[in-house]
Amino acid sequence: MTKRVEIENLSFAYRGNPVLRSVNITAEGGDFVCLLGPSGCGKSTLLRLIAGLERPDAGSIRIGGAAVAGPGLDRGVVFQDYSLFPWLTAGENLVFALEQAFPGRRRRDHVEDARAQLGRVHLEGAFDKLPSQLSGGMRQRVAIARAFATDPPLLLMDEPFGALDAVTRAHLQEHLLALWQTPSGAAKTVFFVTHDVDEAILLASTVVVLGANPGRIRGVFDIDVERPRSRQSLQSNPRYLALRAAMVDLLYERSDDAGDAGTLQ
């Protein structure tokens, strides 16, 4: 089941301080949308609005045609830190999520599913480990496995690899793409926050570049670089280099120098 996400004229302020202004984004079912922008431009806030954790001051967010009225099991979330319950083992974190999503199923089936999902991120041996016994990269693999385990049509990921070293980060990007590109994973619409241009181009089908004060869309880029993509092959891909240059220009341009219509499609 795929879900189209329509964000229309969205504006939001924290206690009178404008954070997002007139944001319009349409993601088709199965799109991988990266939200790219400088610190403080409202990327996390936009994700929290889609998650239903905040309410828009103006405009609307529709998922599969229905207006977002609060959090829901149709949206899996992965944050940079503290995504997992620290008092539950890796396996029990998945089992707990499966119980919430599919109440009434036998616990034995949830445990079996949890083991299979951990296996998909090569962590079958971590079922009985507490998050504190795992490395940061392993914890995020568990968090990703948990997000995919309940098979939500929409995944919201807020800099999930931001705290990891470059090599671990590259592996996690591969794990995420491998899951997303499976027949069931490819149906998922993903919103992924990052401030890393290379990460955005590696992962996304669409990159939305946001500017700050208040947060608004500076450009929308259709990433028409064929998959599978690897960091190595991208370095010599002229299309990648053109996209990268255009995004970097937009990110480092003073926001009052430009209009809101930077696009390269």
Rounded CA separation 216/145 (Å): 32
Cβ-based nearer residue to ligand ATP, 30 or 38: 38
Contacting range for ligand ATP; rule: CB under 6 A; set: 35-43, 136-144, 149-157, 219-227: 35-43
Contacting range for ligand ATP; rule: CB under 6 A; set: 34-42, 58-66, 121-129, 249-257: 34-42
Rounded CA separation 222/240 (Å): 11
Sign (positive or negative) of CA dihedral 226, 228, 229, 230:
negative
Q: Does 56 bind ligand ATP (CB under 6 A)?
A: no
Q: Does a cis peptide bond (omega within 30 degrees of 0) precede residue 228?
A: yes
Strands (E), the chain: 5-14, 17-27, 32-36, 58-63, 66-67, 75-78, 154-158, 189-194, 206-211, 216-222, 262-264
Q: To which residue do tokens 């092959």 refer?
A: 233
Residue pair 32/204 in contact (Cβ under 8 Å)? The answer is yes
Interhelix angle 136-149/90-101, nearest 10 degrees = 20
Q: Please give the residues from 172 up to 231 whose contact with ligand ATP meets the rule CB under 6 A.
A: 195
Cβ-based nearer residue to ligand ATP, 28 or 81: 81
Q: Does 11 bind ligand ATP (CB under 6 A)?
A: no
Q: Put residue 65 in one of left, alpha, beta given phi > 0 → left and psi -120 to 50 → alpha.
A: left
Q: Does 3 bind ligand ATP (CB under 6 A)?
A: no
In whole angstroms, the minimum distance from the beta carbon of 13 to ligand ATP comes to 9
Q: Does 43 bind ligand ATP (CB under 6 A)?
A: yes
Applying CB under 6 A, among 10, 19, 142, 201 the residue interacting with ligand ATP is 19
Applying CB under 6 A, among 10, 42, 92, 180 the residue interacting with ligand ATP is 42
Q: Does 132 bind ligand ATP (CB under 6 A)?
A: no
Q: Does 26 bind ligand ATP (CB under 6 A)?
A: no
In whole angstroms, the minimum distance from the beta carbon of 143 to ligand ATP comes to 17
Give the footprint of ligand ATP on this chain (CB under 6 A). 14, 19, 37, 39-45, 195
